Chains A and B, each alone.
Chain A
């Protein structure tokens, strides 16, 4: 025996509240990487354009948004009132790539148990590996889209004539991404835990996300929301993420520390509740799914 660090497992009916198998999940990091690789490769197998699809989708959405909400509906693209010149195309794209990651990750992780039941019903691995790898593999198209966004952003920056400028706000970007991951995965695993018993929630996810998008400042600027309703509007945890992202990349915009912190508390809370629910369900979900 090469390594004598013996693995002792005890399986019993009792369950601790915070029995998350973090250490064990970490031991399966190779599996997480392979799942990420698998998801990414399998997605674009037998397609001609391959990962280009990751660009085409948000690009077309942004074009449509620019025409419908910008040119036709003439909705504001400002998060704070004032006389700023913000290129509409860049504005919609910033919202779109964040929202695309959020909604696709939420949708994919909410399906964890049902999509993987064939594998999970036959072999053990820490169940948390699946949603984690889903959230990570969503980062690949996000990264591609982010690069595309950065290129367009640079073009506008060099061309000039807009109010975009480089500031230290850019440091918010990694925080925005982390918060996106926590919030989408948190909601996703809550839903996945509940759908093992109630399939209704799976129905809700698709169209719920559609409604949610309208409740978030993606197709319009935050300035559109009347001051007296702003406090309610900001309770949507996606809103501070999107506005902070634009605040970071444009160098100006809406940033309110209190709403921002509330957003973080909600994200972490949702994620923790998700973990607890998930670890309760994962032990016996095969009996009910």
Chain B
């Protein structure tokens, strides 16, 4: 049965730029006086000419979509795309500037962990309180309290004030309450981020179950694409307050991550990149980097990455070395690679093109980036950096081996550090 449960039509939400709120009546009167006399606003801060008072910012710009009963919709988008504003409007925390939202049923929203928990009250008391805030009656909580306590894994601490809880226990308890609520729509904003991996998995399973068995609709916002993939059957991508994509999960995530050729260029101009201030002056300058044999920086993990870097040298330095520090595109450090020891002895006023190759077979499928550091070591082992552009060079690793296992980088990490070799088998 395709039953419409949420309908959003031409939704707009406008915020005023500049200082709002926290103004005093005096400021307001001064502003009014200035406006009447057409003089300069005396309360305006110097240097804020870029946006004047009264200038508007559209956090959501004409959004429309429909959600039917039982759908599990993931909402993704960059920071500032309007995800939280959208959830706030749907959960009636603030009102739209124009447009309408039609809802059928109760909404349980968890925009933050443990909202409505009172630190002085015990876990059990807070279950009743939080349940009531989410719209349950005491009788409803009574009938579910055992399940809630069981699910929260906090039975041992249930009669202890929650101010003594760890943040993990907080989330577990809060999620347990929301998951057992008889609401037709469940809204979750990145709340699972605090729980441990096992609990996250348990929550995702629970959400899938309630959606499948009870036909509850789920709206889920997260930056964690793995959980989106696991939970959702539809994705809405928001971009600058508009719907950029609405459809199936894989295409939605690809759209969001921008896996498009032009996002992974094969050439980088490093001359104009920013650099940290270096202790020893800039005697070497990296001017460019180019991936070889590629139109865009996609590599299969079984091929060798080749690239060329161009260097301008302003001094005679012996025994230069190079290191690259590798991170995932989300900024988690993966590891590093260093150059062979006789790498380069530079002379002043020379330009060099260096051709390098790197083994990337240990990286699992995903997106990475690296930064380059050119340095030498002095006699007592100090690291003397000569150039260190703060520029992340992005590339993607694909895995085209159909027989290999698909590594789960969220759970296992981004690098396969070694192979396991069974060197002997003894029959007992």
The finding on whether chains A and B are genuine partners in a shared complex, rather than unrelated, reads yes
Given A288-B20, A289-B21, also A38-B94 (CB < 8 A): no
Per-position 1/0 for B90-106, Cβ under 8 A of A: 11111111111111111
- The listed residue (B23, B96, B99, B105) touching A6 by CB distance below 8 A is B105
Q: Chain A contacts of B24 at CB under 8 A?
A: 198-200
Q: How far is the CA of A182 from the CA of B134 in the complex (A)?
A: 28
Asked whether B121 lies within 8 Å of A42 as measured between CB atoms, the reply is yes
A269 contacts chain B at the CB level, 8 A cutoff: no
A30 to B134, CA, bound (A): 11
Chain A neighbourhood of B26, CB < 8 A:
200
B111 beta carbon closer than 8 Å to chain A: yes
B95 and A41 within 8 A (CB)? no
Query: What sequence of 0s and 1s flags, for each residue 260-273 of chain A, a beta carbon within 8 Å of any chain B beta carbon?
Result: 00000000000000
The one of A8, A30, A285 that contacts B137, using a Cβ cutoff of 8 Å? A30
A34 to B132, Cβ gap below 8 A?
yes
The closest CB in chain B to the CB of A39 belongs to B118
Q: How large is the interface on B (under 10, 10 to 19, 20 to 34, 35 or more residues)?
A: 35 or more
Task: Provide the bound-state CA to CA distance between A288 and B99, in Å.
Answer: 21
A10 touching B121 in the complex, CB below 8 Å, given contacts A34-B128, A286-B94, A287-B20: no
- Please judge, given known A-B contacts A286-B88, A287-B21, whether A123 and B104 are in contact too, CB under 8 Å: no
1/0 per residue, CB under 8 A from A, across B119-147: the answer is 01100010011001111111000000000
Give CA–CA (A198, B23) in the complex, Å.
6
Assuming the contacts A38-B118, A287-B15, asked whether A8 and B111 have C-beta atoms less than 8 A apart, the reply is: no
Chain A's closest residue to B130 (CB) is A123
- In the complex, which residue of chain A has the Cβ closest to the Cβ of B187? A123
Tell whether B397 is near chain A: CB-to-CB under 8 Å: no
Q: Distance in Å from the Cβ of A247 to the closest Cβ of chain B?
A: 40
- Does A159 make an interface contact (CB < 8 A)? no
Contacts between chains A and B (CB distance < 8 A), count: 121
Residues of chain A contacted by B97 (CB below 8 angstroms): 13
Instruction: Give the docked Cα–Cα distance between A121 and B85 (Å).
Output: 11
| B94 touches which of A8, A12, A27, A283 (Cβ 8 Å) | A283
Give the contacting residue for A12; candidates B101, B116, B125; CB below 8 A: B101
Indicate whether A123 sits within 8 Å of B109 (C-beta atoms), given known contacts A7-B104, A11-B92, A286-B88.
yes
A6 touches B121 (CB 8 A): no
Determine whether the beta carbon of A119 is less than 8 Å from that of B23: no
A8–chain B nearest beta-carbon distance, Å: 6
* Contact (Cβ within 8 A) A122 B109: yes
* Cβ B104 vs Cβ A8 within 8 A: yes
Alpha-carbon separation in the docked complex, A45 to B120 (Å): 7
Contact A41 B120 (CB under 8 A): yes
Question: A10 to chain B: which residues have CB within 8 Å?
Answer: 100-103
Which residues 284-301 of B sit at the A interface, judged by CB distance below 8 A?
Answer: none
Chain B neighbourhood of A7, CB < 8 A: 103-106
A123–B105 contact, CB under 8 A? Answer: no
A63 to B106, CA, bound (A): 53
A38 and B129 in contact (CB under 8 A), knowing A11-B89, A12-B101? yes
Taken together as a complex, chains A and B put the C-alpha atoms of A198 and B161 apart, in Å, by 35
Task: Out of B95, B109, B129, name the residue touching A13 (CB < 8 Å).
Answer: B95
Q: In the complex the two chains form, what is the Cα distance from A165 to B210 in whole Å? A: 66
Q: Is A31 an interface residue (CB 8 A)?
A: yes
Chain B hits for A197, CB < 8 A: 21, 23
Q: Mark B51-89, 1 if CB is under 8 A from A, else 0.
A: 000000000000000000000000000000000000011
A38 to B132, CA, bound (A): 12
Q: Check A8–B21 contact: CB distance below 8 A.
A: no
Looking across the interface, which residue of chain B has its beta carbon closest to that of A118?
B115
A-B contacts, 28 of them at CB < 8 A, read A6-B104, A7-B105, A8-B104, A9-B92, A9-B103, A10-B101, A11-B101, A12-B99, A12-B100, A15-B95, A28-B135, A30-B132, A30-B136, A30-B137, A31-B133, A42-B120, A45-B161, A118-B115, A122-B116, A123-B93, A124-B109, A198-B23, A198-B24, A198-B28, A199-B22, A200-B26, A286-B93, A287-B15
Q: Give B contacts to A, CB under 8 Å.
A: 15, 20-26, 28, 88-107, 109-112, 115-116, 118, 120-121, 125, 128-129, 132-138, 161
A residues with a Cβ closer than 8 A to B are: 6-13, 15, 27-28, 30-31, 33-35, 38, 41-42, 45-46, 118-125, 196-200, 283-289
